[in-house]
Structure 1
Amino acid sequence: MTDEKEPDERRRRRGRGVRTKRPWWKELPVLVGVALVLALVIKSFLVQAFSIPSGSMQNTLQKDDRVLVDKLTPWFGGTPQRGEVVVFRDPGGWLPEGAPQESNAALRGMQKALAFVGLMPSVDEKDLIKRVIAVGGDSVECNRGEPVKVNGKPLDEPYIHPGSTPCDDYPVGTVTVPEDHLWVMGDHRNDSLDSRAHVHEPGGGFVPVKNVIGRAVTVAWPISRWDTLPVPDTFRR
């Protein structure tokens, strides 16, 4: 009797809640879809990778470096602070019109798709990266032969590119930053069309805080250049 019952018992156990495993090729589209949704959520609300397009932030950042930008903090009311490196949308007229595009239609479509989910920089987005020197209400002095001064205090700027001068190529005198705006400058002062270069244009060279996408916190690529981007000591005094 024991031998006759065991097969029946095994059949009953097999019939309770046991599912047939689906082939991997049926599971793959679901996994890819979940991965893309997660990538899109991360890009939109948490962290996004950006490519450095020029040498205006040398030697802190080199051309073609990839940085990770914190997009979460602004959602909780955080605002850019002096000394932070930030990515922001063109306030208007800071970047040339049009950008070279991939001639191959298929590759161009792939680039746009990957950029949409944050896996590749977009050639269509007009974003810049600079260091915040002053925030709303601050006064900035930028005179030939002198260090940059914020609210009357000179900045010690060891991060600027060797051989660059703080203000000599674009001396603008004294400016006051409007509320909810920023004064930004590149670390390679002699190769940066930053706030100084646009002071006589509409907007006065100031960047609206609402244009800031987020703070660059880490150099992620290439691996040999991995590093964090802390606020320099001169801005903590």
Structure 2
Amino acid sequence: MNVLSRVRFPWKPRGSAQSAAAEEGPQRPPRPFWKELPILVVAALVLALLIKTFLVQAFSIPSGSMEDTLLVGDRVLVDKLTPHFGDKPSRGEVVVFHDPSDWLAGEPGRQPSSDPIVRGLQNGLSFIGLMPSADEKDLIKRVIAVGGDTVACQGDGPVHVNGKALNEPYLYPGSTPCGDRNFGPLKVPAGSIWVMGDNRQHSADSRYHMDESGGGAVPESKVIGRAIAVAWPLSQWKTLPIPDTFHQLRSQ
């Protein structure tokens, strides 16, 4: 006798829907959407918070110090991920950083709404990074020089970094490279950056804090991240690449 004939295999006719349903047991009714909604909302908030903390955060431009590159009210997206991996600010980048030594002393913060419902909504959006907080004390400027560089600007300019003149087409029309503050030559301390606004006549940047600790330079530890794009308004959408004028300094 053939050996295979002695082995019994379970078998049911194909297409037997009743048999399949009987094996699977009773089906659970789908969960109502209103029960799923709180879970989805919590998951979305957690995801938004993680993105704000480690990846990308939106910041609002409060002043005209970076015009015309950035306008008042623009929302910029800031890359917060690469600094976590030890990436340091580079010349030409637009960076957001914490106030290093009361640069914003006396400057009014964003005023919260008097309406408690609106204020609660503002606080919630601030918590997940979709709005700036009322007590936000951060600044945004362009990195002109990094630790170890020698930077200077006299008279009508141009700005010199390590003896090389910068061509700065991003400056606000009518703005001069030095603004109204001559400086240098001075060496940027290691682990720090020298920052300036693109609207030089209206930017209280490193030039205005040379008599403070660090000589006007900003410690790299204060940098939150690099502004990579203008996200809002949509009519202003654009990326924020490093200008060509800084490429000549990369090998230094």
User: TM-score normalised to the size of structure 2?
Assistant: 0.87
Query: May I ask how many residue pairs the two structures share in their alignment?
Result: 231
Does the C-alpha gap of structure 1 residues 146 and 27 become closer, same or farther in structure 2, counting only changes over 3 Å? same
1:153-172 equivalences in 2 (<5 Å): 153-172=164-183
- Structure 2's unaligned 5+ residue stretches are 1-15
C-alpha deviation, 1:173, in angstroms: 2.9
- Deviations along 1:39-65, one digit per CA (max 9) or x if unpaired, are 001110011111111110011111101
- Deviations along 1:134-169, one digit per CA (max 9) or x if unpaired, are 000001112122200001101000000000001141
Aligned to 1:3: none
In the alignment, is the contact (CA less than 8 A) between 1:143 and 1:168 conserved in 2? no
Partner Cα distance (2:47, 2:31) in 1: 23
Partner Cα distance (1:101, 1:198) in 2: 30
More deviation, 192-201/179-188: 192-201
Partner Cα distance (2:24, 2:244) in 1: 67
Letter in 2 for 1:24: F
Letter in 1 for 2:177: P
> 1:209 aligned to 2:199?
no
Partner Cα distance (1:7, 1:173) in 2: 85
Among 16, 19, 22, the alignment partner of 1:9 is 19
Q: Secondary structure at the match of 1:49?
A: strand
- Deviations along 1:79-127, one digit per CA (max 9) or x if unpaired, are 0000000000000111134523322333222211111111212121211
Among 22, 27, 31, the alignment partner of 1:22 is 31
Aligned to 2:141: 130
Does the C-alpha gap of structure 1 residues 203 and 101 become closer, same or farther in structure 2, counting only changes over 3 Å? farther
> 1:75 aligned to 2:84?
yes
Partner Cα distance (1:47, 1:11) in 2: 49
Among 148, 158, 161, the alignment partner of 1:150 is 161
Does the C-alpha gap of structure 1 residues 14 and 196 become closer, same or farther in structure 2, counting only changes over 3 Å? same
In the alignment, is the contact (CA less than 8 A) between 2:189 and 2:214 conserved in 1? no
Among 65, 68, 73, the alignment partner of 1:59 is 68
Q: Secondary structure at the match of 2:143?
A: strand
C-alpha deviation, 1:182, in angstroms: 0.5
Aligned to 1:120: 131
Q: RMSD of the alignment, in Å?
A: 1.6
Of structures 1 and 2, the larger Rg is shown by 2
Q: Secondary structure at the match of 1:108?
A: helix
User: TM-score normalised to the size of structure 1?
Assistant: 0.92
Letter in 2 for 1:118: G
Aligned to 2:247: 236
C-alpha deviation, 1:10, in angstroms: 6.5
Q: Secondary structure at the match of 1:169?
A: coil
Partner Cα distance (1:202, 1:46) in 2: 31
Does the C-alpha gap of structure 1 residues 7 and 105 become closer, same or farther in structure 2, counting only changes over 3 Å? closer
Does the C-alpha gap of structure 1 residues 168 and 48 become closer, same or farther in structure 2, counting only changes over 3 Å? closer
Partner Cα distance (1:9, 1:146) in 2: 87
C-alpha deviation, 1:15, in angstroms: 1.6
